[in-house]
Structure 1
Amino acid sequence: MRIMLAPMEGVVDHTMRDMLTRIGGIDRCVTEFVRVTNQLLPRRVFYRLCPELKQGGTTPSGVPVYVQLLGGQPDPMAANAHRAAELGAPGIDINFGCPAKTVNRNDGGSVLLREPQRLYNIVSAIRSAVPTATPVTAKIRLGFEDHSLLADITDAIFAAGANELTIHARTKVDGYKPPAYWQHIHAIQAKAKIPVIANGEIWTPQDYQRCLIESGCQDVMLGRGLLTRPDLARQIQTLNRGETVTSMCWSDIAQHLAQFSLVTEEMYEAKYVGSRVKQWLSYLRQAHPMGQQLFEQVKRMRCPQEIYQTIEQHREHYLLTKAV
């Protein structure tokens, strides 16, 4: 049983990967996508999106980080995969799932699901371009408009030599609207000779259990659910051990949030720091009532230090209230 952290564009960058893997339970991360057009990208692009390459391709907690490529042309994709592998990427992941209109209009992401032969060509070219020991993985949706081509899509990826396949159990047209159709993964998983990873709408340990039953998979990828409950992967591990599942207390989550604000202050321009903290809080408040309270306190703040101090004061007040 493995748990992967989903590569959420504009959300799960190296700072978030570091924070969530410190909390624990995550077996692998994937970078935000490296956009490939028709040229070999300079090394600085890979280091910017995956600074973990400078530390052996892992987060500070030792969790491997695969480099994700997005593009529609086999040769440039293969050349950039080769470069990423040379720079020390533990694996190469291919994005065939992004539903964004801008990405799809520029021949990337889920629009390629309309043409299984193109998926084969891209995966095959990348597989040939990187060392045998470097895993090549792909992430797809059930299809573009519907799931009628799912068998053709997955057969193409299997035949091209991918080492693993993640399936987000919705089509491009479905976007992120619930539910996720895990049951459509089952037939693919049953015939696959490589690991198939289920993704979509896993918010709780109970969702995880239902996903395993309906999809037939052993491995899952968590995205928004892990941002909402930062210890969700750890909770799932506890469940699998047959132990009582307990949630991380709000004071600990707030402490991580405060640390996140300090790290992002060091890493980003001041005008972006508050946005990153508020972005994470917008997820946290979905499962934690105190998150909503804190969000209301900081939502209009722009000074990084003021945001940090407010989080710390909020946390101290929460601990005093709990102690009474």
Structure 2
Amino acid sequence: MNLLLAPMEGLLDASLRDVLTRTGGIDRCVSEFVRVTDTLLPERAFYRVVPELHNGGFTRAGVPVRVQLLGSDPACLADNAARLAGLSPHGVDLNFGCPAKCVNQSRGGAVLLDEPELIHTIVSRVRKAVPAHVVVSAKMRLGFNDDSVAEACALAIAQAGASELVIHARTKAHGYRPPAYWDRIAEVKSALSGFPAMKVVANGEIFSVADALRCREVTGCDDLMIGRGMVTNPGLALAIKAQGAVSWTQVLPLLGAFWEHVVERVERRHRAGRLKQWLNYLRNHYPEGQAAFDDLRLSNEVAHIEAWLLAHGATAQAGPPNWAHASAAMVPAPAEMELPC
């Protein structure tokens, strides 16, 4: 079984990928999307979103990162995929799942699920634009307003030459409301029986070992992608693989390492917000996380945050990777980013 760390725009960026993959259990990451419109992006645009490209495409813990592209112009996506391939990524992933309204209004993400023919063209053009050894994969939801064309979209992706498909078990209209419709992943997977080389990965509402076991049973998928569950419980991947757990004592140095990333990459006035954003997830699994969130939720003072981290032993055992110029551009605050995809 392989466990993939999900792309979550505005949350699970290079900083959190670095910290979460230190805990173990994750076999591969998919980056948050690189938006492609009508231009050929400079190399720095890829490095900004995926600074791991300066490290051979690996996180500090040695976990490979696949770069995700989002757009609707087949030719432009193909040109950008070709440029990206020259940076030696661990594959090119295509986003057909983002439910964010601003993305969909720009004809990106899940809205494309109403156009299986366009999806086929996009995947086909990207597949032809990159060398044969570069994996092309995709992530999709079950549909936009309903799941009536889920099989058609999956078949379009397979017929165009992709070798892996992650399916989030909800439509755009479902958003992130429980439940996840894992049974529909099983049906879509069955429709792909004529493409035995196509790997299908299940995604959606996996927050515990029991969830993971049930998801695998219902979907028939060996591999899973986890996102919010891993952000909430950094030991989830280890637990799913029956390799242990991560205690709050072990989380504290991860918070310290994450803060070092935040200091390096985020404007000072937004730093407290980034830490509280993660604590808001952690408090759902750790009682100590709730206490930490309560201590810090009203503070936006960097000095107060750093004093709290020091007082609670939340100091990094090893600092952030030396991505230098790749991380030089300051990133916006969470409120200015897109919703998780």
> What is the distance in 1 between the residues matched to 2:241 and 2:145?
35
> What is the distance in 2 between the residues matched to 1:283 and 1:91?
29
Secondary structure (helix, strand or coil) at the match of 1:198 reads strand
Give the conservation status (yes or no) of the 8 Å contact 2:238–2:245: no
Q: Which residue of 2 aligns with 1:233?
A: 237
The one-letter amino acid of 1:4's match is L
What is the Cα deviation at residue 303 of structure 1?
A: 2.8
Matched, 1:290 2:279: no
Secondary structure (helix, strand or coil) at the match of 2:214 reads helix
Q: Is the helix fraction higher in 1 or 2?
A: 1
Give the conservation status (yes or no) of the 8 Å contact 2:56–2:88: yes
Secondary structure (helix, strand or coil) at the match of 1:66 reads strand
Secondary structure (helix, strand or coil) at the match of 2:138 reads strand
What is the Cα deviation at residue 263 of structure 1?
A: 2.4
Query: What pairs up with 1:32-51 in 2 under 5 angstroms?
Result: 32-51=32-51
What is the Cα deviation at residue 151 of structure 1?
A: 1.2
Give the conservation status (yes or no) of the 8 Å contact 1:265–1:304: no
Q: Which residue of 1 aligns with 2:273?
A: 275
Q: Which residue of 2 aligns with 1:223?
A: 227
Q: Which residue of 1 aligns with 2:215?
A: 211
Give the conservation status (yes or no) of the 8 Å contact 2:91–2:137: yes
C-alpha deviations, 1:104-163, integer Å up to 9, x for none? 010100000001000000000000000100000000001111111111111101000001
Matched, 1:101 2:101: yes
What is the Cα deviation at residue 315 of structure 1?
A: 5.1
Query: CA RMSD for the aligned pairs?
Result: 1.3
The one-letter amino acid of 2:133's match is A
Give the conservation status (yes or no) of the 8 Å contact 1:36–1:80: yes
Query: What pairs up with 1:100-249 in 2 under 5 angstroms?
Result: 100-190=100-190, 191=193, 192-193=195-196, 194-238=198-242, 246-249=244-247
> What is the distance in 1 between the residues matched to 2:73 and 2:257?
41
Q: Which runs of 5+ in 2 are unaligned?
A: 315-341
The one-letter amino acid of 2:251's match is I
> What is the distance in 2 between the residues matched to 1:255 and 1:305?
18
Q: How many residues align?
A: 310
Give the conservation status (yes or no) of the 8 Å contact 1:166–1:196: yes
> What is the distance in 2 between the residues matched to 1:231 and 1:312?
23
Q: TM-score, normalised by structure 1?
A: 0.93
Give the conservation status (yes or no) of the 8 Å contact 1:94–1:137: yes
Give the conservation status (yes or no) of the 8 Å contact 1:261–1:304: no
Give the conservation status (yes or no) of the 8 Å contact 2:30–2:68: yes
What is the Cα deviation at residue 312 of structure 1?
A: 3.6
Q: Which runs of 5+ in 1 are unaligned?
A: 240-245, 317-324
Secondary structure (helix, strand or coil) at the match of 1:72 reads coil
The one-letter amino acid of 1:186's match is A
* Superposition misfits of 4+ residues, deviation over 4 angstroms: none
Q: Which one has more relative contact order, counting CA pairs under 8 Å at least 6 apart? A: 2
Q: Which residue of 2 aligns with 1:28?
A: 28
> What is the distance in 1 between the residues matched to 2:256 and 2:64?
25
